[in-house]
A and B are shown apart, each in its own frame.
Chain A
Amino acid sequence: SQKIEQNSEALNIQEGKTATLTCNYTNYSPAYLQWYRQDPGRGPVFLLLIRENEKEKRKERLKVTFDTTLKQSLFHITASQPADSATYLCASYSSASKIIFGSGTRLSIRP
């Protein structure tokens, strides 16, 4: 079955460093991948979308890459801040109307 897999272990890094989160997909070839941020007790919030023909996408301190050979997307936050602490979800559409999500990676930025 189609799957989106993220590292379930929490990622703890020092403020100011670059955080890198990984998303791997199996058993299909998504045309695009999305990244969402979720804070405790709240719904996910859309951050970025990257299409399969785009190697890299940037938005302020965020950067996403899409490697169709490795079947992987990397999500980077540069100059990380404690306010970036949250769970980050990777997602993609399995059909025209259905989206599948990874289980998310919890990121903690320590001052």
Chain B
Amino acid sequence: NAGVTQTPKFRVLKTGQSMTLLCAQDMNHEYMYWYRQDPGMGLRLIHYSVGEGTTAKGEVPDGYNVSRLKKQNFLLGLESAAPSQTSVYFCASRAPGRVYEQYFGPGTRLTVT
């Protein structure tokens, strides 16, 4: 099993450009999450999904959109990138009713200039 994979690994955007980050998991997990990690601020939840076709806002959703059209994929979109969105983005998944551990992807390092 590959676990949780993320593409791309790195990306540099100019202010105002758009992009989509892809997260895929092969563990048949219901729940999926997008976080951003900034120095000194820990992991902050952007959006999450509790099943195919569902999405919900997390702690810092502004400037991001998500879609969960297939159970195994969770997409994070930036419609108009801003320098404040420079961060490392992590995707995670978990199975409901399990010991609640989340499985994380390797991260995407995004720089917005």
The residues of A with any CB-CB pair to B shorter than 8 Å are 4, 8, 32, 34, 41-46, 49, 89, 91, 93, 97-104
Q: Which of A43, A46, A99 has the most CB of B within 10 A?
A: A43
The answer to whether A44 touches B104 (Cβ under 8 A) is yes
A97 touches which of B31, B43, B103, B105 (Cβ 8 Å): B31
B103 touches which of A8, A46, A99, A102 (Cβ 8 Å): A46
The answer to whether B43 touches A89 (Cβ under 8 A) is yes
Q: Write 14 A-B pairs (CB below 8 A) sorted by A numbering.
A: A4-B42, A8-B40, A42-B107, A43-B105, A43-B107, A44-B43, A44-B102, A49-B101, A98-B45, A98-B58, A99-B100, A101-B44, A103-B42, A104-B42
A-B interface, 10 closest residue pairs, ranked by CB to CB distance from nearest = A43-B104, A46-B101, A103-B42, A101-B43, A101-B42, A44-B104, A43-B90, A49-B99, A97-B50, A43-B105
Given the complex, which residues of A lie within 8 Å of B101, measured CB to CB? 34, 46, 49
Given the complex, which residues of A lie within 8 Å of B99, measured CB to CB? 49
CB-CB nearest in chain A for B9: A41
